[in-house]
Amino acid sequence: MRSRFILAIIFTLAAAFGSAYGQDPTPSPTPFGTDKQGVAPDKIAPVPPIAQGFESDNRDLPDLGRVGVEMTSQRPMSVREAIALALENNRDIEVTRKNVKIAEFDLKAARGYYEPRFIAQTFYERATTPNVSIFSNNRETTQGALVGNADVRIPLPNYGTIFAATFNNQRVTTNNPISILSPQANANFGITLTQPLLRGRAMDQPRRTIEIAKRNLSLTDVQFRQRSVEIITNVQRAYWDLTFALRNLQVQRDAVRDAKDQLEHNRRLVEEGQLAPIDIVAAETQVANFEQAVYDALNVVTQAENGLKNLISPNRYNAVWNEAIVPTDPVELRVPGTTLNDAMTAAMENRPELELNNVQKSINEIDRRYYRDQSRPQIDLVAGYTSSGIGGTQNPSFSSPFDVPCDPNDPGYDACLARQAQQRAQLESLLGSLGSSGSAYSDIFTNRYPTYRVGVTINLPLFGDRTARAQYGRSLVEGERISAQREQVEQLIQVEVRNALQAVRTAEARLRSAAISRENSVRQYESEQRKLDAGQSDIYNVLERQTALTNARSAELRAQTELNKALADLQRATGNALKDNDVVTMLRK
């Protein structure tokens, strides 16, 4: 029985699986008036009670002011003044100025390689060593030396030439009996000239560093101007945003005034029996709505003003944060009649991005010259001259190792005495030729013991300089990458110029349409008021026309400021932001 029950279950599951596999599932129909889950709306759980019966009874208007701003302390400001303050106080500009200073110091540091170097060394040394010579009977030898050396190294800026001069001076005392002089003065003066013949003659690392430092100085200057252009554009846009916000605030306040006038007019019409008392409620609602729009516009003014202050203020403690900025420039700007060809020509001449690319290309050319020079064999011509001198006094401990006593019984006794006398004469002659300690310096200037040397130093890698060849190849690829980047930058500039010109044209058309809309809204509002007075219209049409007029006035002002911002974007796109705003002289200070 148990096995039959299991088989029945298996067959039942197989039948169910086969029927499901052989046909597509058919969705069950959703009853009308239910959601996708088939639940009727009246069956959905209700919203939990939140603030039931809430009604605001506060009818007092809040203060119409700006947070942290003393409205009586107004600061008139033109767009030129705002730009000047931003270029003077903006932190990004200040950082870029510091980068220029850093590049100037980097160039000075690189040129410091060619400054003459003076190296001096002096010390006293006393050493005692065991005697290992058969010519001395001393068990140990003590020698003292007072050393004073000086070197001057002068790298020449061109052709990799290095000039060096050396002066060595030494005073030695010893108790070694085979040393003739004690103290003994040794001195020499030498000059050396090293001239690369292949590698390092046209370009070497110091000259490469200097040339790159020059280009980096130009690079930081271009970056400074690029950042200045960005700041100028941002200031212009922020300035016109504040201009719109302030004028739009006035538009909204004028709308409140007109709505209140309409409310008083409606009350008179109600008293005259031309309007129903309920029409007063609609006018009061209109006044409340416009008052709300005033506070919304005030919030926009605060945000726009803080945005401009953030660009022109050096820090959060500046007095401008407590002042109300009042734009003084007229909002109607002249639209230049610039063609696409003229705009593209100006952009290709003035855009800092192209100058940055030119500087990068120049740095790459320096690297290519340097690494190509490094792949050459290193063969240096070396020439030197040395003049030496020596002097001192006879060592009191001196004894000649050849001074053997003569035997009187020896048949060669007389010859032995003659030989000893000759040796003593030679020693006295040698001491006389060496002279005193001061004669070591006179020997140098009289060129008594000169040494001349001319030769060639060769340094060749056995299997070729793979490092130099790889670096040269990398510089070639880097040059190709910079060229590709320039094409990309030029194309992006073209897109920006086209978009900026189109934005100006569109803004002009939008301003024209907005002006027509505002003029027509004035006529429609006045016409609707006359109809209301004649009993041919109702209050709702008048209020609708009033709202449309307020929106049209705000839209016209927005269209004008958007046109001004489009002109600022066009100045940036063509690279004329500095010139058109007369700040080139300011940047050169």
Q: Does 14 have pLDDT greater than 60?
A: no
Q: Which two tokens stand for residue 515?
A: 């002006």
Dist. CA 579–CA 102, nearest whole Å = 26
**Summary mean pLDDT of the chain:** 83
Better pLDDT: 247 or 434 = 247
pLDDT: which is higher, 404 or 160: 160
397 contacts 182 by C-beta, under 8 angstroms: yes
Which CATH superfamily includes the segment(s) 79-102+207-371+467-588?
Outer membrane efflux proteins (OEP) (1.20.1600.10)
Instruction: Please give the backbone phi and psi of residue 570, each rounded to the nearest 5 degrees, phi first.
Output: -65, -40
- The neighbour count for residue 506, using CB atoms within 10 Å, is 14
Among residues 79, 75, 78, the alpha carbon closest in space to that of 565 is found at 79
Kind and range of the H or E element at 265?
helix 205-271
Contact (CB, 8 A) for 161 and 175: no
Q: How far apart are alpha carbons 528 and 540 in whole angstroms?
A: 10
Token pair for 273: 């029996």
Q: Has residue 427 got a pLDDT over 90? A: no
Beta-sheet strand order (sheet of 378-394): 117-130, 140-155, 162-174, 181-196, 378-394, 449-459
114-128, 292-306, 424-438: least confidently modelled range? 424-438
Give the Cα separation of 354 and 222 in Å (integer): 10
pLDDT band at residue 403 under the 50/70/90 scheme: low
Most confident of 174-178, 429-433, 473-477: 473-477
Task: Give the H or E element holding residue 459.
Answer: strand 449-459
Q: How far is CA 37 from CA 30, 34, 47, 167, in A?
A: 8, 8, 19, 103
pLDDT at position 25, please? Answer: 44
pLDDT given at position 134: 62
Q: In the 3-class helix/strand/coil scheme, how is 362-404 assigned residue by residue?
A: HHHHHHHHHHHHHCCCEEEEEEEEEEEEEEEEECCCCCCCCCC
Return the domain boundaries, the chain: 79-102+207-371+467-588, 116-157+161-199+378-459
Residues 243, 434: Cα–Cα separation, whole Å: 96
Q: Round to whole Å and give the CA distance between 330 and 239.
A: 12
C-alpha atoms less than 13 angstroms from C-alpha of 145 in its C-beta half-sphere: 14
Distance CA 150, CA 118 (A): 7
User: Does pLDDT of 434 surpass 90?
Assistant: no
Q: What percent of the chain has pLDDT over 70?
A: 81
Mean pLDDT (whole number) for 60-82: 81
CA-based nearest residue to 243, from 326, 173, 123: 326
Peptide bond into 155 cis (omega under 30): no
The pLDDT tens digits of the residues spanning 521-569 come to: 999 988 988 888 887 888 888 888 888 988 999 999 899 999 999 999 9
pLDDT at 89: 86
Residues 6 or more apart whose CB falls under 8 angstroms from that of 147 comprise: 121, 122, 123, 124, 125, 168, 169, 170
322 DSSP assignment: G
Confidence of residue 583 (pLDDT cuts 50, 70, 90): confident
Where do runs of H (alpha helix) occur along 272-329? 278-312
d(CA 291, CA 295): 7
Please state the rounded mean pLDDT for residues 13-24.
42
From the list 143, 122, 201, 193, the residue with the least C-alpha distance to 163 is 193
* Per-residue pLDDT reduced to its tens digit, 352-402: 999 999 999 999 999 999 999 988 889 999 999 999 888 777 667 666 655
User: Strand 162-174 and strand 117-130: pairing?
Assistant: unpaired
Q: How far apart are CA 40 and CA 28, in angstroms?
A: 16
Cα separation, 287 vs 368, in Å, equals: 75
pLDDT at position 290 is 86
Can you give the pLDDT at residue 327? 93
Find the radius of gyration of the CA atoms of the chain: 49
Look up residue 466 and give its two tokens. 């793979």
pLDDT bin (cut points 50, 70, 90) of residue 124 is: very high
State the DSSP H helix or E strand holding residue 532, giving kind and residue range, or none if neither. Answer: helix 466-533
> In the predicted model, is pLDDT for residue 478 greater than 80?
yes
405 band by pLDDT with thresholds 50, 70 and 90? low
**Cα–Cα distance, 400 to 179 (Å, whole number):** 9
E-only strand ranges, 78-207 = 117-130, 140-155, 162-174, 181-196
Q: Are 578 and 83 in contact (CB under 8 A)?
A: no
Which of 106-115, 193-202, 258-267 is predicted least confidently?
Answer: 258-267
- Give 8's pLDDT tier (boundaries 50, 70, 90): very low
238: enclosing H helix or E strand: helix 205-271
Strand pairing class (74-77; 324-327): parallel
User: Is the pLDDT score of 351 beyond 50?
Assistant: yes
Let me know: does 226 contact 352? Beta carbons within 8 Å.
yes
Total length of the chain: 589
Rounded to whole angstroms, the Cα distance separating 85 from 321 reads 14
Alpha carbons 352 and 360: distance in angstroms, whole number: 12
pLDDT band at 52 (very low <50, low <70, confident <90, very high): low
Residue 398's pLDDT is 62
The residue to which tokens 């001349």 are assigned: 452
Euclidean distance between CA atoms 327 and 74, whole angstroms? 10
pLDDT of residue 54: 67
**Does the pLDDT value for residue 6 go beyond 60?**
no
